């Protein structure tokens, strides 16, 4: 008799965004004339750049002619795009072979699929507060999960403890939800831990494009020793507005071996078995992100989100409220005023100022007492939300 994967029964109900939707829905039912200032969204609001749109149109036309038509694409990615991505890394001083960069349909897909490389007996270490998919993907796989709480005392960037456990280590920098960014020294501590203990780091760099401090690493491969212990998962979703277009990339160095197995070669085998590559059209659009003009256009959009962040940071500075993120990240993680719980603060913001954010408790219990603002909303709404926040908390 078929037995389903019973681990699905171990998943906790993902109530966070459903609960927010319920609360805001009720509020609007009672106050139909009110406008909500939505500072909780993790999706981008600005459209794709002109260069990408033109490349997408051209690629669609290619598919209409026998001479330029493309069928199945190589499973690990279009060689031209892999070359472009490797040279993007090279600009930052990271030398990668084209074959070490795999094109994917986005970071979420990869974060789930990549777990195929690891035995079920391997444990997963998740630094919390965390992007919820890290925990859930491992619950589904039936893995032991080690929750490592972080907090204000370490700037939400913990270092490995002396008695640290964990085989698959999730590091997200810039972090969702806290906006905190690992510096070289802090990353090096994790790289050393992983190399010493035979662990593998899954480095989620989905927000790397938001780093503006030149001293901070965008990639874990900027840290010495990372090629023998890390996999990097990245995405054009937030960098270039590809949330609905879907393209990401994953770096697995050829030097990454564990117990006589080469993880790079295993991933080639995995991709050639489980995918038929990413759409030709989308890969063409993605390549346009990396042209000079494409880069200028994405910087234009990112600077609009950064301006949103500046309004919120200025307000929090004036109010004397502790926060992290914002400068090198599209998220701002603030401490709730007066030791308030994060859902209580959510209710007050909604009722008194019509601002909707995300309660920190939804990202793990150590997020209680904190609140996340996203800067992906409209500039007008963000400015007004910052003004309302100031009036409310002054």
Residues that bind ligand PLP (CB under 6 A): 42, 106-108, 131, 172, 176, 204, 206, 235, 237, 243, 248
Cis-peptide, bond into residue 33, ω within 30° of zero: no
Cβ distance to ligand PLP smaller for residue 243 or 378: 243
Cβ within 8 Å of residue 366, ≥6 positions away? 128, 129, 149, 150, 151
Q: Could you give the CA distance from residue 52 to residue 57 in angstroms, rounded to a whole number?
A: 9
Cβ distance to ligand PLP smaller for residue 167 or 204: 204
Nearest C-alpha neighbor of 385 from the set 364, 344, 359, 354:
354
Cβ distance to ligand PLP smaller for residue 156 or 393: 156
Q: Could you give the CA distance from residue 171 to residue 30 in angstroms, rounded to a whole number?
A: 42
Cβ distance to ligand PLP smaller for residue 315 or 330: 330
Least Å from the CB of residue 108 to ligand PLP:
3
Cβ distance to ligand PLP smaller for residue 242 or 346: 242
Q: Could you give the CA distance from residue 249 to residue 236 in angstroms, rounded to a whole number?
A: 8
Cβ distance to ligand PLP smaller for residue 28 or 46: 46
Least Å from the CB of residue 163 to ligand PLP:
27
Least Å from the CB of residue 367 to ligand PLP:
14
Dihedral angle over CA of 183, 295, 106, 219, nearest 10: -20
Q: Could you give the CA distance from residue 188 to residue 203 in angstroms, rounded to a whole number?
A: 13
CB 133 within 8 A of CB 12: no
Distances in Å between the Cα of 132 and the Cα atoms of 112, 128, 136 are: 12, 9, 6
Least Å from the CB of residue 351 to ligand PLP:
28
Least Å from the CB of residue 41 to ligand PLP:
10
Cβ distance to ligand PLP smaller for residue 107 or 230: 107
Cβ distance to ligand PLP smaller for residue 285 or 393: 285
Cβ distance to ligand PLP smaller for residue 21 or 255: 21
Q: Could you give the CA distance from residue 183 to residue 189 in angstroms, rounded to a whole number?
A: 10
Least Å from the CB of residue 13 to ligand PLP:
20
Residue 361: Cβ within 10 Å count? 19
Least Å from the CB of residue 243 to ligand PLP:
5
Q: Could you give the CA distance from residue 319 to residue 304 in angstroms, rounded to a whole number?
A: 23
Q: CB burial class (10 A; 0-12, 13-18, 19+) of residue 292?
A: exposed
Least Å from the CB of residue 377 to ligand PLP:
15
Least Å from the CB of residue 278 to ligand PLP:
12
Q: Could you give the CA distance from residue 203 to residue 221 in angstroms, rounded to a whole number?
A: 10
Q: Could you give the CA distance from residue 368 to residue 386 in angstroms, rounded to a whole number?
A: 22
């Amino acid at each position: 008799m078929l037995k389903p994967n019973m681990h699905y029964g171990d998943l906790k109900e993902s109530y966070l965004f459903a609960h927010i939707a319920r609360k805001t829905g009720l509020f609007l039912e009672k106050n139909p004339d009110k406008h909500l200032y939505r500072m909780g969204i993790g999706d981008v609001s600005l459209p794709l750049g002109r260069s990408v749109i033109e490349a997408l149109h051209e690629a669609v036309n290619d598919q209409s002619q026998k001479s330029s038509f493309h069928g199945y694409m190589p499973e690990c990615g279009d060689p031209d795009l892999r070359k472009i991505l490797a040279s993007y890394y090279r600009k930052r001083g990271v030398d990668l072979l084209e074959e070490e960069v795999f094109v994917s349909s986005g970071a979420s897909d990869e974060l789930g699929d990549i777990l195929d490389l690891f035995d079920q007996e391997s444990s997963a270490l998740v630094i919390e507060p965390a992007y919820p998919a890290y925990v859930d993907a491992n619950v589904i796989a039936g893995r032991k999960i080690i929750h490592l709480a972080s907090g204000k005392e370490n700037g939400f960037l913990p270092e490995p403890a002396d008695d640290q456990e964990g085989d698959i280590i999730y590091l997200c920098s810039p972090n969702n939800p806290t906006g905190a960014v690992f510096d070289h020294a802090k990353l090096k501590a994790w790289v050393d831990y992983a190399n010493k203990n035979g662990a593998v780091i899954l480095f989620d760099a989905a927000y790397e494009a938001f780093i503006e401090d030149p001293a901070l690493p965008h990639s874990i491969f900027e840290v010495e020793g990372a090629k023998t212990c890390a996999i990097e998962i990245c995405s054009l979703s937030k960098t270039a507005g590809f949330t609905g277009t879907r393209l990401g990339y994953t770096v697995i160095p050829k030097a990454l071996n564990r117990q006589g197995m080469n993880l790079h070669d295993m991933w080639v085998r995995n991709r050639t078995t489980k995918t038929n590559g990413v759409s030709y059209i989308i890969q063409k659009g993605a390549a346009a992100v990396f042209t000079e003009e494409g880069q200028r256009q994405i910087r234009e959009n990112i600077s609009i989100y950064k301006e949103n962040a500046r309004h919120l940071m200025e307000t929090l500075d004036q109010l004397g409220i502790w926060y992290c993120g914002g400068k090198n990240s599209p998220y701002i993680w603030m401490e709730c005023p007066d030791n308030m719980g994060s859902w209580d603060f959510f209710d007050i913001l909604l009722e008194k100022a019509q601002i909707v954010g995300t309660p920190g408790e939804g990202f793990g219990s150590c997020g209680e007492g904190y609140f996340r603002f996203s800067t992906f909303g409209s500039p007008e709404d963000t400015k007004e939300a910052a003004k309302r926040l100031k009036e409310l908390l002054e």
